[in-house]
């Protein structure tokens, strides 16, 4: 209550200072036709933006309301005039003292009036003489003075009682006045999605090229060599059976290598155990393959996650596990998978020497990009000396328009 | 010896069936999907089943699941799983019961007909056959953790062949040493790995694998 009152007080004082900023901006606008406004508008608008930002931060911090910030202020006066965020700030600057500020002032005004009644009236009422009204009490006797003190105390209590309500009302108003227009939000979201889609497509193209090259240089080339050896062996069968036998043995070895190449290629595209069993068992299998002591804790709902999410999470975890072994000299790793509120959450903790940085290292950058395509995030806490904690989150619901939930059988 | 064969690709099914028949097995059922496999395992009660891990209708691990179910109904039913890839998780699931009479091989191995037929026989006789790839990875893992560091290179080789399901005689042949020398090495391995020696081939493989999996 006391805190809310203090905040109301602060808001009411802030709103008193605001008209000056508004007036400055309007002056700049009015001076535009004579040219003087052009150099003035930019700093005035910037000052206004700073005040608006402070209010956004203040109210946002108090209430936990998210205030999507408006697009940055343009650099030229002409562009500022066309900026929706600027006009929004200006509207706020003029309306805030009359509405939000007034709302916030109700409680402090009542409080100070109550303080005046309770603490000041008893000492000054004699000197004020006739016509000394405190609210609706005519204070002209010790009895009526007592009434005024009681009334003042009631006002103080009422002010404190009212403060949280008026503060909440002010927050709602601020949200309306200062929140970025939904159009701006949408534009920003579209830009972000366009970016991540382009990255996903790039990654896909690179992946396809890698597969093509691997097939071409590996299995395909081996099969050609194999055909040549077979042809040679057939030719030698009558004249030099011993040599033909050697060639046939080579053919078998070559066919085995071709199979191994293909197997590795398939594993790099989609590990068979992931295709068969889903993410939980695929990670258990990964743990068995690792040279490290890996403890896996899977708390996923029954059924399968959307295939692209499974794949992204699998390769991300594989990369983190490889990092733990290769770069961090870890011995033990703990991997926990859970799924709550439509978000797949993976934590990977190792006891290595830390120092991993998601801004450096091609592997970690790749992981970030892979997750970015799903609006996923990778948070890394890896102080030098360790340990390293990686938290990976992928919202499943948004990953595929066809799948409404993570636990949908895919 | 009566064999049930499950493989969805016609060419491979035909080839496997021919190979087995040539080596004196009787292929009592050659099926191409999970439900038929389950039915064949129940009705034919074969001496050994050779099963491709990935089968229709869902093309995941239908073959493995059918095999594990059949072994729950009939513990110790000899099963040799074939797959285009080997996965430690699947190897672990196959070995989990501890009854032996299981095999898990890469499909490539069927090109070495003699080895493949040997593997089918070993499994049918209650032994355990693991693909060298699985064994190599388990050994490398043990190595990295220092659990097999105490072994000499020769003992290491013996351990590898042992885990692949070979008998002492076969190990001796492969390494060009006498069977008694192999027995000496295996005793050394058991002592160093602190595993109680046993006359049972299958038990010793499981013990080694269990130790390495730790």
Domain containing residue B81: CATH number: 3.40.50.2300
| Same domain, residue pair B111 and B51 | yes
User: What is the pLDDT confidence band of residue A100, given thresholds at 50, 70 and 90?
Assistant: confident
Query: Environment class of residue A75 by beta-carbon count within 10 Å: exposed (0-12), middle (13-18) or buried (19+)?
Result: exposed
Which of B124, B109, B187, B195 minimizes the C-alpha distance to B155?
B187
CATH number at residue B201: 1.10.10.10
pLDDT, mean over chain A: 83
Shared domain for B78 and B175, answered yes or no, is no
User: A246 and A267 in contact (C-beta within 8 Å)?
Assistant: no
Tell me whether residues B140 and A291 touch, CB distance under 8 A: yes
Residues A237 and A371: their CA atoms lie apart, in Å, by: 57
Alpha-carbon gap, residue B89 to B107, rounded angstroms: 17
Q: Is the pLDDT of residue A382 over 60?
A: yes
A217 has a chain B CB within 8 A of its CB: no
Q: Is the pLDDT of residue A407 over 70?
A: no
Is A288 in contact with B144 (Cβ distance < 8 A)? no
First-to-last C-alpha distance (Å) of chain A: 52
Q: State whether residue B60 sits within 8 Å of chain A by CB.
A: yes
Q: How confident is the model at residue A236 (pLDDT cuts 50, 70, 90)?
A: very high
CB contact under 8 A, B60 and A276: yes
Strands (DSSP E) along B7-145, which ranges? 26-31, 48-52, 79-83, 102-106, 128-130
CA nearest A263 in B: which residue? Answer: B85
**Does A256 touch chain B if contact means CB atoms closer than 8 Å?**
yes
- Under the banding of pLDDT at 50, 70 and 90, the label for residue A401 is very low
What DSSP element (H or E) covers B213?
helix B201-213
Quick: pLDDT tens for A51-87. Answer: 888 888 888 778 777 676 777 778 787 888 888 788 8
Find how far residue B83's CA is from the centre of its chain: 12
What lies within 8 Å, CB to CB, of B136 at 6+ separation is B160
Q: Is B200's pLDDT higher than 70? A: no
**B137 in contact with A at a CB cutoff of 8 Å?**
yes
- Position B198 confidence tier, pLDDT thresholds 50, 70, 90: low
Helix, strand, or coil (residue B76): coil
Q: What is the pLDDT of residues B157-195, one digit of tens each?
A: 888 888 777 778 888 998 999 988 988 888 888 777 766
Q: Can you give the pLDDT at residue A409?
A: 43
Domain-terminating residue out of B96, B130, B164: B130
DSSP secondary structure letter of residue A264:
H
Provide the CA A192 distance to its chain's centre, in angstroms. Answer: 12
> Of B104, B130, B156, which one is at a domain's C-terminal end?
B130
Closest residue in chain A to residue B140, using alpha carbons only: A291
For A285, the closest of B60, B87, B144 (CB atoms) is B87
pLDDT at A121 over 80: no
Q: Which of B87, B92, B137 sits opposite A272 (nearest CB)?
A: B87
Q: Sheet containing A388-395: which strands, arranged edge to edge? A: A293-299, A332-340, A343-350, A388-395, A377-381
Min CA distance, B49 vs chain A (Å)?
21
Query: Could you tell me if A106 and A155 are in contact, meaning their C-beta atoms sit under 8 angstroms apart?
Result: no
Is A255's Cβ below 8 Å from some Cβ in B?
yes
Q: Kind and range of the H or E element at B11?
A: helix B10-22
Looking at chain B, the whole-number percentage of residues with pLDDT higher than 70 is: 87
Residue B38 has pLDDT above 90, yes or no: yes
Confidence (pLDDT) at B83:
92
B21 close to A (CB below 8 A): no
A285 touches chain B (CB under 8 A): yes
Residue A101: its pLDDT value, please?
Answer: 77
At A348, which helix (H) or strand (E)?
A: strand A343-350
Same-domain status, B159 and B124: no
Both B126 and B141 in a single domain?
Answer: no
Task: Tally Cβ neighbours within 10 Å of residue B195.
Answer: 16
Residue-level pLDDT at A334: 95
Contacts of A253 in chain B (CB under 8 A): none
Same domain, B79 and B174: no
A281: nearest CA in chain B? B89
**Are residues B140 and B72 located together in one domain of the fold?**
no
Q: Which residues of A touch B145 (CB under 8 A)?
A: 291, 293
What is the token pair recorded at B170? 């076969």
Q: Cis bond leading into A387, ω under 30°?
A: yes
Angle formed at CA A109 by CA A107 and CA A111, multiple of 5 degrees: 70
- CB–CB contacts below 8 A, A to B: 41
| B89 contacts in chain A (CB < 8 Å) | 273, 277, 281, 284-285, 288
Per-residue pLDDT band for A155 (boundaries 50, 70, 90) equals confident
Q: Are residues B178 and B98 in the same domain?
A: no
Do B126 and B24 lie in one domain? The reply is yes
Residue in B with minimal Cα distance to A290 = B141
**B201 and B162 assigned to the same domain:** yes
Is the complex ipTM higher than 0.90? no
B61 touches chain A (CB under 8 A): yes
Query: In angstroms, what separates the C-alpha of B86 from chain A's closest C-alpha?
Result: 9
Cβ contact A291–B54 (<8 Å): no
**Cβ neighbours around B97 below 10 Å, total:** 15
Tell me what pLDDT residue A243 has: 93
Domain boundary among B130, B154, B187: B130
Chain A residue with the nearest C-alpha to that of B142: A291
pLDDT at B186: 83
Do B10 and B48 share a domain, yes or no? yes
Burial class (CB in 10 A: 0-12, 13-18, 19+), A362: exposed
From B181's Cα to the closest Cα of chain A, the distance in A is: 31
Predicted confidence at residue A408, as pLDDT, reads 45
Residue-level pLDDT at A405: 46
A273 touching B, CB under 8 A?
Answer: yes
Does residue A267 belong to the interface with chain B, where contact is any CB pair within 8 Å? yes
Q: How far apart (Å, rounded) are the C-alpha atoms in residues A230 and A82? A: 76
B178–A contact, CB cutoff 8 A: no
Is residue B19 over pLDDT 90? yes
Q: Do B85 and A263 touch (CB under 8 A)?
A: yes
Domain span including residue B150: 135-212
Tell me if chain B has a CB within 8 Å of the CB of A231.
Answer: no
Q: Is A326 exposed, middle or buried (0-12, 13-18, 19+ CB in 10 A)?
A: exposed
Number of domains in chain B: 2
Who contacts A358 (Cβ-Cβ below 8 Å, separation ≥6)? A364, A365, A367, A368, A378, A380
Question: Which DSSP helix (H) or strand (E) runs through A336?
Answer: strand A332-340
Using pLDDT thresholds of 50, 70 and 90, give the confidence band for residue B71: very high
Q: Is A272 in contact with B145 (Cβ distance < 8 A)?
A: no
Residues A139-153, buried b or exposed e (16+ Cβ, 10 A)?
A: bbeeebbebbbebbe
Mean pLDDT over A132-140 rounds to: 77
Please tell me whether residues B59 and B23 are part of one structural domain.
Answer: yes
Higher pLDDT among residues B112 and B120, named by residue? B120
Q: Give A249-303 pLDDT, tens digit per residue.
A: 999 888 988 988 899 899 888 999 999 999 999 999 999 888 888 999 999 888 8
Are B87 and A284 in contact (CB < 8 Å)?
Answer: no
pLDDT in tens, B116-153: 999 999 899 888 888 888 888 877 777 776 666 677 88
> Do the chains contact at B92 and A275, CB–CB below 8 Å?
no
Q: Does the beta carbon of B84 lie under 8 angstroms from any beta carbon of chain A? A: yes
Q: Looking at beta carbons, which residues of chain A come within 8 Å of B140?
A: 291
Do B55 and B139 lie in a common domain?
no
């Amino acid at each position: 209550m006391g805190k809310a009152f203090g905040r109301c007080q602060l808001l009411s004082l802030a709103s008193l200072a605001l008209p000056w900023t508004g007036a400055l901006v309007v002056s700049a606008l009015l001076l535009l036709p004579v040219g003087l406004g052009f150099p003035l508008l930019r700093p005035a608008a910037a000052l206004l933006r700073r005040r608006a930002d402070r209010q956004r931060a203040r109210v946002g911090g108090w209430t936990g309301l998210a205030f999507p910030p408006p697009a940055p202020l343009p650099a030229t006066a002409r562009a500022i005039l066309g900026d929706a965020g600027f006009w929004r700030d200006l509207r706020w600057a003029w309306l805030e003292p009359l509405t939000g500020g007034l709302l916030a002032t109700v409680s402090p005004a009542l409080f100070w009036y109550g303080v005046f009644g309770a603490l000041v009236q008893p000492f000054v009422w004699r000197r004020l003489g006739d016509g000394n009204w405190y609210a609706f009490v005519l204070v002209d006797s010790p009895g009526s003075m007592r009434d005024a003190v009681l009334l003042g105390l009631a006002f103080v209590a009422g002010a404190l009682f009212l403060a949280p309500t008026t503060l909440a009302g002010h927050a709602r108003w601020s949200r309306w006045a200062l929140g970025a227009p939904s159009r701006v939000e949408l534009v920003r979201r579209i830009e972000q999605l366009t970016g991540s889609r382009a990255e996903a497509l790039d990654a896909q193209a690179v992946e396809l090229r890698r597969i093509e090259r691997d097939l071409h240089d590996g299995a395909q080339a081996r099969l050609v060599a194999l055909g040549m050896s077979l042809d040679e062996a057939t030719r030698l069968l009558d004249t030099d059976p011993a040599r033909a036998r050697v060639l046939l043995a080579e053919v078998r070895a070559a066919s085995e290598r071709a199979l191994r190449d293909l197997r590795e290629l398939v594993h790099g595209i989609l590990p068979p155990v992931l295709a068969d069993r889903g993410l939980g068992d695929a990670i258990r299998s990964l743990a068995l393959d690792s040279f490290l002591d890996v403890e896996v804790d899977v708390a996923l709902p029954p059924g399968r996650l959307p295939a692209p999410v499974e794949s992204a999470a699998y390769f991300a975890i594989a990369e983190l596990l490889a990092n733990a072994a290769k770069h961090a000299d870890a011995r033990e790793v703990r991997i926990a998978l859970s799924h709550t509120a439509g978000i797949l959450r993976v934590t990977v903790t190792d006891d290595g020497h830390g120092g991993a940085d998601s801004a450096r290292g091609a592997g970690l950058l790749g992981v970030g990009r892979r997750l970015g395509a799903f609006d996923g995030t990778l948070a890394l806490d890896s102080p030098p000396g360790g340990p390293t904690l990686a938290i990976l989150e992928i919202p499943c619901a948004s990953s595929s328009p066809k799948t409404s939930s993570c636990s949908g059988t895919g | 010896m009566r064999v049930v064969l499950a493989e969805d690709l016609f060419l491979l099914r035909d080839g496997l069936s021919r190979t087995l028949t040539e080596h004196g097995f009787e292929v009592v059922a050659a099926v191409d999907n999970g439900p038929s496999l389950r039915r064949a395992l129940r009705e034919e009660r074969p001496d050994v089943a050779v099963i491709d891990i990935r089968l229709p209708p869902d093309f995941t691990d239908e073959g493995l699941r059918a095999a594990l179910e059949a072994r729950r109904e009939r513990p110790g039913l000899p099963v040799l799983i074939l797959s285009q890839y080997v996965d430690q998780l699947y190897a672990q699931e196959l070995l989990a019961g501890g009854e032996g009479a299981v095999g898990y091989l890469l499909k490539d191995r069927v090109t070495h007909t003699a080895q493949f037929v040997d593997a089918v026989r070993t499994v049918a006789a209650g032994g355990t056959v693991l693909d060298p790839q699985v064994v190599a990875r388990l050994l490398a893992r043990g190595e990295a953790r220092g659990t097999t560091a105490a072994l000499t290179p020769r003992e290491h080789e013996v351990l590898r062949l042992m885990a692949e399901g070979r008998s002492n005689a076969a190990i001796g042949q492969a390494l060009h040493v006498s069977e008694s020398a192999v027995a000496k090495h295996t005793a050394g391995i058991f002592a160093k790995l602190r595993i109680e020696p046993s006359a049972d081939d299958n038990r010793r493989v499981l013990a080694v694998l269990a130790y390495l999996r730790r």
